[in-house]
Structures are given as structure tokens and as C-alpha cells.
Amino acid sequence: MTVMERLHIGNLIRKEVERQGLSVVGFARMMGCSRANIYKIFDHASIDTAMLFRISSLLHYDFFQHYSHIL
């Protein structure tokens, strides 16, 4: 398994949402989407950079740092 395969961004987002004490419904409201879409984000091992930037901004957490550490 490669480093990129081990870096599952959806899991990292889910863990940060939980760490901040947000519910899936609350996070969905912040994102302006449905709860089902949030679960889809959590399931994805990779994500569009524009979406990741938006999530990073909303959660005040730099998810890009996880990618820079594997360079």
C-alpha cells in the first residue's frame, strides 16, 4: 500500500468534524449540502482541491498539511 493510499482524506475530515464536536447535520448545514453528501465525503479517499479548501476554511483546519508531509 502506497502512502497516498494510506492517506484517506475522508477519514481525516470525519475525525476533525468529530474532534470539533460537530454533528453530521451541523457540518452539512455549514457546507450547504445534505447529510448524505457529507457521508459521501467521508467515504472518499481523495477529494477535489477546491472542496478541500472550502472544508479547511469552514473547519479552520489545514487538511493540505497531510499531503505536504508525504512529499
29-68 per-residue burial string, b: 16 or more CB within 10 A, e: under 16: eebeeeeeebeebbeeeebeeeebeebbeebebebeeeee
Please tell me the total count of domains within the chain: 1
Q: Whole-structure pTM over 0.85, yes or no?
A: yes
Phi, psi torsion values for 33, nearest 5 degrees? -140, 180
CA distance 8 to 14: 10
8-63, pLDDT tens digit by residue?
999 999 999 999 999 999 999 999 999 999 999 999 999 999 999 999 999 999 99
Chain segment 21-35, per-residue pLDDT in tens = 999 999 999 999 999
Instruction: Give the range of the structural domain holding residue 24, as residue numbers without chain letter.
Output: 3-64
- CATH number at 7 reads 1.10.260.40
